[in-house]
Amino acid sequence: MIDVIFCSADEVADDFLRFAVIIARHKNKFVFCRHKDRTTWEVPGGHRETGERIIDAAKRELYEESGAVEFELSPVAVYGVKDGSGVTYGMLFFADIKVLDDIPEEYEIAEIIISETMPEKLTYPEIQPKLWEFARKEMKID
């Protein structure tokens, strides 16, 4: 069983933040991406690289996974994913994308969709809907 928890940024040390996940909106619709090796959809995000600030990981992942080149990025909350082996932490962000370019071909994303609703076939169905709803509530997004 997987559980998603939310914390304030001062409850979890920065060094423990392993992921940056971005709920991204473009022209009042949400951005979802599909990895080249999957048939499922996900919100942009990924692993933080060694020595990388979490905000820089979010900016990099948003570009690599959506082609976003101009955007406003805001932290929403620290989240944790609890499973049988412990808790893994990440930072949840919200991005308002102003300009989308082509998806960079050298990365792992095959395509994006821009939708008013979350797709049915999700890569992480026990995690992504909770992150999406939390960000929408916290950022007061319809």
* CATH code, domain with 44: 3.90.79.10
Kind and range of the H or E element at 128? helix 128-138
Could you list the residue range(s) of the whole structural domain that residue 9 is in? 3-138
pTM attached to this predicted model:
0.95
| pLDDT tens-digit readout, 78-116 | 999 999 899 999 999 999 999 999 998 889 999 999 999
Total count of domains within the chain: 1
| pLDDT tens-digit readout, 39-70 | 999 999 999 999 999 999 999 999 999 999 99
